């Protein structure tokens, strides 16, 4: 990242996996910046980013949501949570892959590699399951989503099976802007291959609204 970029390592005041714990993590970061930042969320993290924005609209200047996981069926989330909580992390992740990127899910080697990556970057299977339960128990309705009055940039991949999340969000958000990344799927849209394309959309959005430009999507 550029020399002007800032990184923060903070200790959240909360412990646990309730919705308010996730929102509290975001609140800690926002308060540390001492300004109204642009919040960015990707996939499941965008779910919690949106919840924070709904509760604290006055504390942020804009949102950037990359294929936000806002419209999963409750039964799907509960099924994935049950598998994770029973220790079947691979089964929980496989169910997700079958939905958002079937070609990856159908390749045993790729699916195994991705599952290993997720497990290694997550605290434990319990954490995966409890996060899914938090999402299942606190859905964001389209009516609530429509109450967000700040500018929102929605980013999606043209080859993504999760692109519908961008379409649905754009249909209800009053100040939505959409940026499509040609050739990107849900799993690689924030990878090195598409960094320049994603950054171009983010920088254009921020410049149009007089906002600080992030150096790279994170």
All structural domains of the chain: 37-70+141-208 (3.40.50.1820), 74-136 (no CATH)
pLDDT tens figures, 97-114: 888 877 765 677 777 777
In the DSSP assignment, the letter for residue 63 is: E
| Range of lowest pLDDT (82-86, 115-119, 140-144) | 115-119
DSSP H or E segment with residue 62 = strand 62-66
pLDDT of residue 180: 98
Beta partners for 42?
A: 66
| Range of lowest pLDDT (72-86, 102-116, 139-153) | 102-116
Dihedral sign for Cα 140, 145, 149, 155, please. positive
pLDDT tens figures, 164-197: 999 999 999 999 999 999 999 998 999 999 999 9
Give the burial class of 104: count Cβ atoms within 10 A of its Cβ; 0-12 exposed, 13-18 middle, 19 or more buried: middle
pLDDT of residue 105: 58
Helices 125-137 & 89-100 angle (0-180, nearest 10): 50
Contacting residues for 124 by C-beta, under 8 A, at least 6 apart: none
* CA atoms in the 13 A half-sphere facing the CB of 143: 0
Q: Whole-angstrom Cα distance, residue 30 to residue 42?
A: 17
Q: Whole-angstrom Cα distance, residue 198 to residue 138?
A: 29
* Mean pLDDT for the chain overall: 87
**What is the pTM (predicted TM-score) of this model?**
0.87
Average of pLDDT values for 78-89? 93
Contacting residues for 42 by C-beta, under 8 A, at least 6 apart: 65, 66, 67, 68, 189, 190, 217
Average of pLDDT values for 197-216? 84
SS3 of 40, please? strand
Task: Read off the tokens for 20.
Answer: 């308010």
> Residue 16, by phi and psi: left (phi above 0), alpha (psi -120 to 50) or beta?
left
pLDDT of residue 173: 98
Q: Whole-angstrom Cα distance, residue 135 to residue 6?
A: 29
Q: When comparing pLDDT for 119 and 178, which is higher?
A: 178
């Amino acid at each position: 990242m550029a020399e002007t970029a800032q990184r923060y390592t903070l200790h959240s005041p909360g412990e646990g996996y309730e919705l308010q714990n996730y929102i509290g993590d975001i609140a800690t970061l926002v308060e540390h910046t001492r300004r109204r930042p642009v919040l960015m969320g990707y996939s499941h993290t965008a779910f919690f980013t949106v919840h924070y924005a709904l509760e604290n609209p006055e504390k942020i200047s804009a949102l950037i949501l990359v294929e936000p996981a806002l419209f999963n069926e409750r039964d799907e989330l509960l099924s994935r949570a049950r598998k994770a909580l029973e220790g079947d992390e691979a089964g929980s992740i496989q169910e997700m892959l079958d939905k958002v990127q079937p070609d990856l899910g159908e390749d045993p080697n790729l699916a195994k590699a991705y599952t290993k990556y997720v497990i290694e970057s997550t605290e434990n299977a319990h954490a995966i399951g409890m996060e899914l339960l938090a999402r299942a128990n606190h859905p964001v309705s389209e009516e609530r989503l429509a109450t967000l009055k700040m500018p929102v940039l929605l980013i999606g991949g043209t080859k993504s099976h999760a692109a519908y999340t961008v379409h649905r969000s754009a249909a209800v958000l009053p100040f939505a802007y959409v940026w499509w990344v040609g050739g990107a799927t849900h799993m690689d849209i924030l990878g090195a291959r598409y960094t320049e394309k994603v950054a171009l959309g983010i920088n254009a959005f921020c410049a149009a609204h007089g906002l600080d430009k992030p150096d790279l999507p994170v």
